[in-house]
Structure 1
Amino acid sequence: MPFDRFDDIVIHHKAEGPEAAPTLVLINSLGTDYRIWDDVVPKLAGRYRVIRYDKRGHGLSEVPPAPYRMEDHSADLLALLDHYGVAQALVVGLSIGGQIALGLAAIDQNRLAGLVLMDTAHKIGDAASWNGRIDAIGKDGIAAIADQILTRWFTPAFRSGGNPAFVGYSNMLVNSPVAGYLGSCAALRDTDHTETVRNLEVPTLCIVGDQDGSTPPDLVKACADLIVGARFEIVEGAGHLPCIERPETTARLLGDFADAIFGQDAPR
């Protein structure tokens, strides 16, 4: 369970797979930690070095006072790559993770071998919606709006009290550090990566669950349309977190894209 201080923040991180293999970095969404990738990583780590981490204010990483800037998150990602000695990685960003990855692209595209933008976009929501969420949580806590969030995250088939996984991921959301959640809401509110995506010059794959209520397919497709040469894929039977609801499909899409970028032809 590695912990390291990157500049002003202690980050919880983990690397799996062969050290000499090409690197994939997986970045989790708002209100989750790196365990959301648990069912995906074993399908990739046999032929890739897979690094994941809890972004600042989430999981077991340190929780600075809110608000945060997206530049703070992206600087943490860059420090993580430097810590592992990774010159280039295929970075997979889910939701806010995609905006963190785009922040790295704005700093230095040369650190990206490729980019996967999963259930995310160049601009998510508007100031009014984020301020409303910040005010509601600041007053009554994450639990007060958890049902609204979970409805956007998961399909009706998954969203059942009889599904132990749904109960567990609901707990992950509700138990997220409030300062970390609010800090990242502010970062999302203040971020517009429209020009970043228009200037991307790395292989890019955009993925979205067909029932995503947070960043719907039309929004993700609009983002993909701004990126020269980007691929767009819809995951059937998934909401905002395909890595949880459809890990096999998610791992296949990531693996095939990574294989094409890195020229891998290893057994699955």
Structure 2
Amino acid sequence: MSVAVHHVLDGPADGPVVVLSNSIGSTLHMWDPQVKPLVDHGFRVLRYDTRGHGRSPVPSGPYGIEDVGGDVLDLLDRLEIGAVHFVGLSLGGMTGIWLGQNAPERVRSLVLACTSAQPGNTQMWLDRVKQVRAEGMAKIAEGSIGRWFTREWIDAHPDEAAALREMTATTPAEGYTACCELLADLDLVPGLPKITAPTLVISGADDKALPPDHGRVIADGIAGARFEVVDHAAHLGSYEQAERFNQLILEHLEGVA
């Protein structure tokens, strides 16, 4: 059953809508570096907190990818929005893949960033669930920052790193673990050829969580998809290399328009 996720709208009321979908352990604020550039180019930006995260409801797990994808469709219906450009990172990118496969009429284009169609590492995700249930989110948050950013970025931006670490530390444990369980056995690879939306896949060269090989599988599976690898970017490449990500996203969206 869908839940009414928390959302924020920015930009002109008549602009083409771009939906930004967050990673596990984050909120819609992970997209702060993208909002102004998109709005300045005439887009209406719709950000939301994935269920179990931020200010969205936290239903009991487990969650399926059809649940987080269904929440997006419910949000668009509530706002009376038809087809959108969809930009997702990590879990948000997987949500975009599901939408492209199951609701193609609602997807004008896709940007799939630092993500995977089959994350793998099943036992790692299940071990993380056990750790959160035993110890809470604080230790997870410390590890997340080390995956999200390169050490050079963390050392150069200690205040931002601390704020982003707190974003994960304050994520509801139930929402986080339910999404971990979702990721543990997810496999969207067989349906990749069904996606017809113009697609850009972006990977971070230094992403140890979901290395570029994952992005390549997605790009190879979607007809006509463009694949880009961004240097000096770990898992939250949209934040660490915001200028380059913004350039790629805008090129893609304006090319489709």
* TM bucket, shorter chain: over 0.9
Structure 2: state its 5+ residue gaps.
none
Aligned amino acid, residue 134 of structure 2: K
Task: Name the counterpart of 2:72.
Answer: 77
User: 1:31 aligns to what?
Assistant: 25
Alignment-derived partner of residue 109 in structure 2: 114
Describe the superposition over 1:166-224 as per-residue Cα deviations: whole angstroms up to 9, x where unpaired: 11101111111100100111111232101221221111000011111111112212221
Q: Which amino acid aligns with 2:16?
A: P
Superposed displacement of residue 161, structure 1:
8.6
For the pair 1:12 / 2:6, whether they are aligned, the reply is yes
Identify the residue that residue 258 of structure 1 maps to in structure 2.
253
Within-5 A mapping of 1:1-268: 9-46=3-40, 47-160=42-155, 163-262=158-257
Once residues 246 and 2 of structure 2 are traced to their aligned partners in structure 1, the CA distance between those partners, rounded to angstroms, is 33
2: CA distance, partners of 1:201 / 1:61: 30
Shifted more, 167-176 versus 123-132: the winner is: 123-132
Distance 2:11 2:191 in 1: 31
Over 3 Å counting, the alpha-carbon distance change for 1:162 and 1:126 in structure 2 is closer
Count of paired positions: 256
Following superposition, the deviation at residue 143 of structure 1 comes to: 2.1
Find the aligned partners of 2:157 and 2:33 in 1 and give their Cα distance: 20
Aligned residues with identical type, % of pairs: 35
Structure 1 stretches (4+) deviating beyond 4 angstroms?
none
TM-score (norm 1): 0.91
CA distance in 2, matches of 1:97, 1:136: 23
Higher helix share: 2
Change over 3 Å in CA distance of 1:8–1:199 after alignment to 2: closer
CA contact (8 A) 1:161 1:167 kept: no
Instruction: Identify unmatched segments of 5+ residues in structure 1.
Output: 1-6, 263-268
Cα deviation, residue 58, structure 1: 0.4
Q: What secondary structure does 1:26 align onto?
A: strand
- Output one character per residue of 1:90-129: Cα deviation in whole Å (capped at 9) or x when no partner: 1011000011112222322111111111000111123222
- CA distance in structure 2 between the partners assigned to 1:254 and 1:162 by the alignment: 24
**Structure-1 separation of matches of 2:45 and 2:2:** 24
When residues 162 and 235 of structure 1 are mapped into structure 2, their CA distance, relative to the original with a 3 A threshold, is closer
Match of 1:266 in 2: none
Q: TM-score, normalised by structure 2?
A: 0.95
Residue 8 of structure 1 deviates from its aligned partner by 5.2
CA distance in structure 2 between the partners assigned to 1:25 and 1:96 by the alignment? 14
Comparing 134-143 and 253-262, the one that deviates more: 134-143
